Structure 1
Amino acid sequence: MPFAPCISVSDTAASLAFYRKLGFDADSSTARPGDDIHMLLYKGEFCAMIYRNADLRQWLPVLADQPIGFAGMFYLAVDDLDGVYEHASRHAEVVREMTTEETGQRMFYLRDPDGYVIGFNDKAALQASEMGKYAE
C-alpha cells in the first residue's frame, strides 16, 4: 500500500451509498462521533478512506480553508520513519509534527508544492495497530 487516499466528503452516508452502488464495500468500525471516517474496500481490498469534511478539518487544521475535492491527504508507510522525517523535513513544510496516536502509530505530515498533504507513518507500528488489517 504505497499511498492511501483520504477523500474529504460533505456527507459520508451519501458518499458511501454512491460507492456501494459502484460495487465498493465499507468498513465503518473506525467511525465515531467527531471522527466520521470509513475504510473503502473494493473486492475486499482497501483502496481509500472516506472522511467527513468537518471532522477532517478539525483533525488537520492546515486543510481548513481547502474546498471539498482538494482537502485530504495521502499516507505512505515507511520502514525508517525517523530517517524519512529527518530528510523530508529539510525539503518540505512539515504541517503536523511527529506524533504517536492512541493506536500506537507514529506519523508526521508534510505539504507538497501543490498543497497536497502526505502523512508518513511507521510501517511496523501501522501493521501492529488496529489499522494493520488494512496494511499489506
Structure 2
Amino acid sequence: MTITRATPVLMVDDVGRAVAFYCDILGFAFVVGVLESSRETVAVWPAPGPLAFALVECGQARFMFETRAALAGELPRFAETKIGGSLILYLDCDDLDALYARLSERTPFLKAPHKTFYGTRECSFQDPNGYVLTFAEAVAQTTTPPETPA
C-alpha cells in the first residue's frame, strides 16, 4: 500500500468562517462545499448559504472543514470532542518572510519567524478555531570548502 495524500478534516463551529480565513487571509482556494440545509454541493465562494463541509487547497496542502453536527452524524464520538486542539498543521512554504509580512497585520503569531536547530525557519499562529499552523522554510545550508594543503 502507498499513501498518496493526507488531508486533515478539521472540526469547526462555522465552516464559512474557516473557509474565509484560509482563503482570504492565507491564500487557499475554495474547491467544493456542501450546504447545511440541502446537502447540495457548491463550487463557488462565497457559498450561497451556510456550509456543513468544505475543501480548500493551496499547492500540495488540502484541508477539509466540517461542522460538529455533520461529523457527529457519521462518527458519534465527535459530539463531545473539543474543537481546536493538540495538533500542529505543519506546512512547508517557499517565502516565510513574505508570508509573515502579509499575515502579521491580520493575525497574532504564537511565534515569530526563527531559525531552528534542524535547518528550517518557522513561524506559528492559531487559526480562528484554535488549530495551530506552523509554516516552515528550508534554510540554505552553507558549507565551508575544505582547506587545500599549502
Which range, TM-score by smaller chain? 0.3 to 0.5
Structure of higher RCO (CA pairs closer than 8 Å, 6+ residues apart): 1
**What TM-score comes out, normalization by structure 2 length?**
0.40
Structure with higher Rg: it is 2
TM-score by length of 1: 0.43
